[in-house]
Structure 1
């Protein structure tokens, strides 16, 4: 494990749903003794309703507007760990704010692994379709290059356990700052 005192600034985790942003983010925040935020969870706290309810009432555009405001607010904080929603970086303003206000890490995982992790989760409106694997593959095809362009660091998050992925991420972040 790298020396934690060498790691400064914000850490922002991006990637598709099921990549492990929230799980890994909480773990890293605990290691670094920093506040952890999940932009989707913060939106739910503020609105008092679930993401699927926001999609149902306001559509994806309404949700994305709320998400942009939340990303702006959270990225303005100091020394935090933030897990973003899977589609957050698709909006240019979010992409820019994340890159300018912290270190962006893309947790890369393949669609079949993502499906395995999200199969039983009904809180993912984009996966409430007849063929969720095809939807994940479609999202991956569209978003992978955007995630890579937003990221300062890319970490493989396919099959490793959370502790090993966290160690790899912290090591890469420390090296980037050295």
Structure 2
């Protein structure tokens, strides 16, 4: 969250001539509710089930750039799908960068509510780091780079695989 997936994804998709799907938007369209509403009314487990279903639906589409939420890696089956069906790019940002990007919207993000922003981001990153490393085909450090430069780096990584 906050690493730039929803910004870089469309830039990369245009560059490659692919379609683009923001998985969070797909989840909201499928559920007919916002992610905060899903969390509040149904809980995180229900959200994760929707997330897995939407990921599975996208997994066998070709010519698609997908921007999943940062927690998609929590489920073992999701990690298997990501490893086997996608060229996964881990957009890695330092916690301070993420905190700065999310500062004005933390209250709209269920996993950040009621916590010190920087501490929560660091904790989530620490909890998920091994999962990100497990599924990543490519790691791109994004701090200080434009979306276009990040997309170029990803495209170059795709050519080398």
| TM-score for the superposition, normalised by structure 1 | 0.87
Map 1:23-62 onto structure 2 (within 5 A).
Answer: 23-62=7-46
What's 2:65 paired with? 81
Regions of 4+ moved over 3 Å = none
Whole-Å Cα distance in 1 between the matches of residues 151 and 69 of structure 2? 19
Unaligned segments of structure 2, at least 5 residues: none
Whole-Å Cα distance in 2 between the matches of residues 130 and 28 of structure 1? 33
The root-mean-square deviation of aligned C-alpha atoms, in Å, is: 1.0
| Displacement after TM superposition at 1:123 (Å) | 3.0
SS of corresponding position for 1:76: coil
Say whether 1:117 aligns with 2:101: yes
| Displacement after TM superposition at 1:146 (Å) | 1.1
What's 2:159 paired with? 174
SS of corresponding position for 1:87: helix
Whole-Å Cα distance in 1 between the matches of residues 124 and 111 of structure 2? 9
Whole-Å Cα distance in 2 between the matches of residues 130 and 106 of structure 1? 25
| Displacement after TM superposition at 1:130 (Å) | 3.3
* Matched residues, number: 160
When residues 73 and 154 of structure 1 are mapped into structure 2, their CA distance, relative to the original with a 3 A threshold, is same
What's 1:63 paired with? 47
Unaligned segments of structure 1, at least 5 residues: 1-16
